[in-house]
Chain A
Amino acid sequence: MTHWRFLPLIVLLAFVAAVTWRLSHPPDTAIRSKMTGKSVPAFVLPAALPTKPGLASTDLAAGEPHLVNIFASWCVPCIAEAPLLVAMRDDGVIIDGIAIRDRPVDIAAFLERHGDPFARLGADRDSRVQMAFGASGVPESFVVDGRGVIRFHHYGPILPGDVPAIRHALKEAR
């Protein structure tokens, strides 16, 4: 029974190994929406700006694929992805926006400064539609096909390396 005295040492080594592994390979904290593959939840959002129409779920089932971008003027990573959205819009992608907890004056200033890629722009003042999409922050983007089915979810800001996957999803959604 003498070998039992090594048990605490083995437990300690196992503990150190587990901690080292988790510190060097932290878990993925991105929250993937479970709505991918399902229809867009039914919603009607009022216009966030007087110059653009608002956004309703029926607008997303009108035959063409859309990129739905959930953003806010108070969101700093949204600034990083703004030029990439404008470039995609220039290439013919229909981009609709949902502004979370925002004011028209702030949204207008943000779009003025960082570019305005949006065809439609809905105001989600209490995050209700954001939750209905299964989005947990800003920015997040969804590819919706012409029948209103969510095909792809992107968590976090769109960086240059993410664009091919989104374009592919948009092509597939045709």
Chain B
Amino acid sequence: MRFLLLVVALALATPALADSPQPPSHWANRQLPDPRQEARARGLMEELRCLVCQGQSIADSDADLAGDMRALVRERIAAGDDPRAIRAWLVERYGDWVSFTPPVEPLTWPLWAAPILLLGVGAWIVRARLKR
């Protein structure tokens, strides 16, 4: 019975999550009148992860919650909030995962070092080839 419930719940969860009949929030799909504020909001929205689709940014996602997150970002930017404060507010609730820009800390050093290391390996291979 539990298994059956789980299967039913899982089968129906994804469409149901994005299925509110209510219209999107006012600022979900509307640009701020001030282009500088809109640019700042846009920059932040592209770096925040949609909690429903998980692979998309909230700027790209059509999920209801992504729309509500865009509305939150635009309203707080229009109220004069710093994008960093809005990001911090969300990270406090969902963890670093919600931001597409990982923080620089011991756990993420390999992530930041990987491009430099790979470039080094590439340079070494190229040098070995050219020598031959």
Provide the bound-state CA to CA distance between A127 and B67, in Å.
10
B97 within 8 A of A: yes
Among the 9-residue stretches A13-21, A49-57, A60-68, A153-161, the one with 4 or more Cβ atoms under 8 Å from chain B is A153-161
Report B-chain residues with C-beta under 8 Å of the C-beta of A32: 95
Which of A137, A160, A161 has the largest count of B CB atoms less than 10 A from its CB?
A137
- Say yes or no: A101 contacts B94, CB within 8 Å: no
Select one of A35, A72, A160 contacting B20, CB under 8 A.
A72
Report B-chain residues with C-beta under 8 Å of the C-beta of A39: none
A89 within 8 A of B: no
Provide the bound-state CA to CA distance between A125 and B3, in Å.
33
Among the 9-residue stretches A73-81, A109-117, A164-172, the one with 4 or more Cβ atoms under 8 Å from chain B is A73-81
- Say yes or no: A134 contacts B12, CB within 8 Å: no
Interface residues in B, total, Cβ within 8 A: 30
Provide the bound-state CA to CA distance between A156 and B12, in Å.
12
Report A-chain residues with C-beta under 8 Å of the C-beta of B69: 127, 131
A residues near B, CB below 8 A? 29, 31-35, 72, 74-77, 80, 100-103, 106, 125-128, 130-134, 136-138, 156-157, 159-161
B residues near A, CB below 8 A? 1-2, 5-6, 8-9, 12-13, 16-17, 19-22, 25, 51-52, 54, 64-65, 68-69, 71-72, 90, 92-95, 97
